[in-house]
Amino acid sequence: MGNLYHNKTAQWIAYGVFFAVLAIIPLTVDDSFLLNQFATYGVYGMLALSISLCWGFGGILNLGQGIAFGLGAYGMAMTMQMQSQTESNPIPPFMLNNSLDHLPMLWQPFQSTGTGMVLAIAAPTLFCAVFGGIMFRARVSGPFFAIMTLAMLSAFYTIILDRQAYTGGVNGLTPPSAFQFAGVEIDPYSPTAYWVVFCFLMGATVVAKLITQSSFGLVTQAIRNDAERVRFLGYSVAGYETVIYTISGLIAAIAGCCWVMLVQYVSPAQLDVSFSLSMVIWAAIGGRLSLLGSIFGAFLIQGAQSYLGDTFLATWLLILGGFFILVVRFLPNGLASLLESGLGLLATKRPSPAAQSNGDAKPMPAE
């Protein structure tokens, strides 16, 4: 018997248990505020998952995931804002304050909920595909790519801050009513909203897991380990990198939409450098090489921030920073690697007869 951690069946069972636990939550929690909070953790989980896919499996450290998240969130917020505008009142109030007398071109597609939703998802994904394509084609990689994403993130942050008449500036957008989809209002504090996020999180996780197990996923992992060798074998490294980066961006864009649905708010703070870096922290602490570990990392850190944050309000960032340094220094693969070595220990201590007969276990003295 090998390490249980690497057993695919065991991994799928772990996924099943994890999502079963998440599915029990709305049945047992009555507090609608708490349920809304749990749902936002689900969004953070999706972000950590997207980082894990891109960084853990693709080896592309993306410090600008806030771009995809933020653009998705803005698209969704614009859609929701337009849902509450009527014939007699066709322009969002903040535009009137900025002396715009007609709806700008940028906003017109968002008058239709369907088009708005598609744009909210497609625009960030397209951006990732184009930006990633350009960068990876130029063989920009490693820390250098991380800095480029940082620069791009800062660019988006400044432009959204600056174009106040179109984006609401530093105040952002606060759609006044809940999201309506196909005639149904999705109250952010209802179990329905939780289930929407749950389904997207589960869907994204399963898709990501299938990707990592496919031959495509194997090639991306090979690129992570040694891009040059993979290139010499005739694979299009840039192509693989662009695709994994784009999928990761797509997940983040969906997360952005879900987030606005839950909190009815978006501001440039969602494109702030520190938010994108906290996504990386979640994945790093949970374990970037494990999809489930990253999601767990997001739950752990955000949960701790909410609950310990009140007690250790002043020292929370100190604790987080210190913990993060320790993880990077001593546990580069995060908490999941603890589980991995723990299960590994179990596997070597009690080798099963099957493993011995396979011949890959060391000869054991007679017992």
150 binding other proteins? (CB under 8 A): yes
Find the binder of other proteins among 97, 274, 306, 352 (CB under 8 A). 274
> Toward other proteins, which CB reaches closer, 38 or 44?
44
Which range of residues in 7-15, 34-42, 45-53, 277-285 is near other proteins by CB under 8 A?
Answer: 277-285
Which range of residues in 37-45, 102-110, 239-247, 325-333 is near other proteins by CB under 8 A?
Answer: 325-333
In terms of C-beta distances under 8 Å and separation of at least 24 residues, what long-range contacts does 233-242 make, across chains too?
Answer: 237/136, 238/133, 238/136, 238/137, 238/139, 240/58, 240/216, 241/58, 241/60, 241/132, 241/136, 241/141, 242/129, 242/132, 242/133, 242/136
Find the binder of other proteins among 280, 289, 336, 347 (CB under 8 A). 280
**Angle at 167 (CA atoms; ends 39, 201), nearest 5 degrees:** 20
Chain positions 153 to 182 lying near other proteins, rule: CB under 8 A, are 154-155, 158-159, 161-162
**Which tokens sit at 14?**
């772990």
271 binding other proteins? (CB under 8 A): no
Q: CB neighbours of 267 closer than 8 A, spacing ≥ 6? A: 168, 170, 171, 172, 173
Query: Distances in Å between the alpha carbon of 300 and those of 269, 309, 320?
Result: 22, 12, 11
> Toward other proteins, which CB reaches closer, 135 or 251?
135
* Residues that contact other proteins, how many (by CB under 8 A): 41
> Toward other proteins, which CB reaches closer, 83 or 141?
141
**Which tokens sit at 177?**
């009513």
> Toward other proteins, which CB reaches closer, 196 or 327?
327
Query: Distances in Å between the alpha carbon of 208 and those of 82, 231, 234?
Result: 33, 24, 25
Q: Are 72 and 248 in contact (CB under 8 A)?
A: no
314 binding other proteins? (CB under 8 A): yes
Which range of residues in 69-77, 105-113, 187-195, 326-334 is near other proteins by CB under 8 A?
Answer: 326-334
Find residue 180's DSSP bridge partners. Answer: 185
Find the binder of other proteins among 219, 284, 298, 347 (CB under 8 A). 284
Q: Are 55 and 62 in contact (CB under 8 A)?
A: yes
> Toward other proteins, which CB reaches closer, 329 or 349?
329
Q: Give per-residue burial for 229-261: e unless 16+ CB within 10 Å, then b.
A: ebeeeebebbebbbbbbbbbbbbbbbbbbbbbb
24 binding other proteins? (CB under 8 A): no
Q: Pattern of binders to other proteins over 118-137, x per CB under 8 A?
A: ----------------xx--
> Toward other proteins, which CB reaches closer, 309 or 351?
309
> Toward other proteins, which CB reaches closer, 36 or 52?
52
- Shortest distance, CB of residue 25 to other proteins, whole angstroms? 30
How far separated are the first and last CA of the chain, in Å rounded? 19
321 binding other proteins? (CB under 8 A): yes
DSSP conformation class of 35: H
Q: Are 91 and 102 in contact (CB under 8 A)?
A: yes
What residues make contact with other proteins under the rule CB under 8 A? 61, 134-135, 138-144, 146-148, 150-152, 154-155, 158-159, 161-162, 273-274, 277, 280-281, 284, 314-318, 320-322, 324-325, 328-329, 332
